A and B are shown apart, each in its own frame.
Chain A
Amino acid sequence: MTLLSATDLHKAFGPTPALAGAGLTVDAGEIVAIMGPSGSGKSTLLHCLAGILTPDAGSVHYRGVDLGSLPDGKRSELRRTEFGFVFQFGQLVPELSCVENVALPLRLAGVKRRDAESRATDWLEKLEVADVAAKRPGETSGGQGQRVAVARALVTAPKVIFADEPTGALDSLNGERVMTLFLAAARATSAAVVLVTHEPRVAAYADREVVVRDGRSRLVEHAG
């Protein structure tokens, strides 16, 4: 079942075109890697898919609904309830403890503190970082911080998780732990993952890959 689809996306920043006809579909529960060189438009594509950026032309449909037709408020709500996000770094609130960070999306959705923090703790346990629950993000290692960020992305049980270079700042071993735990959790909850990466070893965790080059996505044939 197609969950998310983008058709003929165009987006320019000033005179510089970032997307020039990119398209992509994502099925429910599927893990898709978006690859491509720096400046190829892969992050812009992710931001358009997630409704963070509005394309100049072309459309993005989520469960059959055109994101461009939604008012801003509805689109924000969709991002908060149906989507999860993991970035390379700088996504956790430094003044809050890790468990408070993970609980934050639930708190914003009106869940009571006790309940939110209990669910957050469950996710920290699944990501094997329960020991840093009371610490602030600045007191954790890079790998722990990313796993906290993954827990926060998963806590609302999103249908799609957008991850932009989630292991970009980590060494091989920590990157592997983040990817293994992240994708095991995503598969366990049947969440789809759109993963932007320039690292082949990270892309190899996905079910398939889409290559973006010069703002266009190239569909690459491969034998299963």
Chain B
Amino acid sequence: MSLGHALLGLLERGPGHGYDLKKAYDDQFGQDRPLHYGQVYTTLSRLLRNGLVQEAGVESGSGPDRKRYAITDAGVTDVENWLGTPEKPEPYLQNTLYTKVVLALLSGREAADVLDTQRAAHLNAMRELTRRKTDGDLADKLICDYALFHLEADLRWLELTTARLDELAKQVGR
């Protein structure tokens, strides 16, 4: 997750102070982890240095930073590029799980149990997310959906691997 891009995206709605940005970010994305001011100001100064934001006036009064920031044309282009570029699909658990399954087979343990245990943990997590989603608002639904689809993908891998255990056992045992 790129904080710079998130802040730039928030600034597209109009100029704001560091404090405004932190608040807007926390409202939209910070349910689990609100931002520290330090992160906001470090990121803003980097964006400023790179010409993606510019200062848009300083308000009188006390306080550490009364500067207002506005997104530049280069900043808008940067956000557009970011939104238009897919994220790299990251491997999640399969390395660990594959290792466990192979080790179970090699040591003569029930590899199906390893997979079933994992499968139960995955479905538990999915049930929890489904409950949260059913009780939640649209933002909760979208966030939970994302996690649900990812867990489902892992679960499908677990099922397919279970179906391929005999084949895998032969190959591992060779």
Contacts and interface: CB of A to CB of B under 8 A. Distances in A.
Given A37-B163, A209-B123, A200 B116 contact: no
Given A209-B123, A220-B119, A220-B120, A204 B159 contact: no
Consensus secondary structure, chain B interface: helix
Contacts of A209: 123
A215 to B, nearest CB: 15
Consensus secondary structure, chain A interface: loop
B156 A200 contact: yes
B126 A204 contact: yes
Contacts, number: 46
Given A37-B159, A200-B126, A201-B126, A218 B152 contact: no
Given A37-B159, A37-B163, A204 B130 contact: yes
Interface string A194-213: 00000111011111010101
Interface residues of B, number: 22
Contacts of B58: none
A141 B163 CA distance: 35
Interface residues of A, number: 19
Given A204-B129, A204-B130, A222 B152 contact: no
Contact of A222 (B121, B134, B159): B121
B117 A205 contact: no
B117 A221 contact: yes
A28 B126 CA distance: 23
Interface of A: 37, 180, 199-201, 203-207, 209, 211, 213, 218, 220-224
The 3 closest A-B pairs by CB, nearest first: A204-B126, A222-B120, A204-B130
Interface of B: 116-117, 119-124, 126-127, 129-130, 134, 148-149, 151-152, 155-156, 159, 162-163
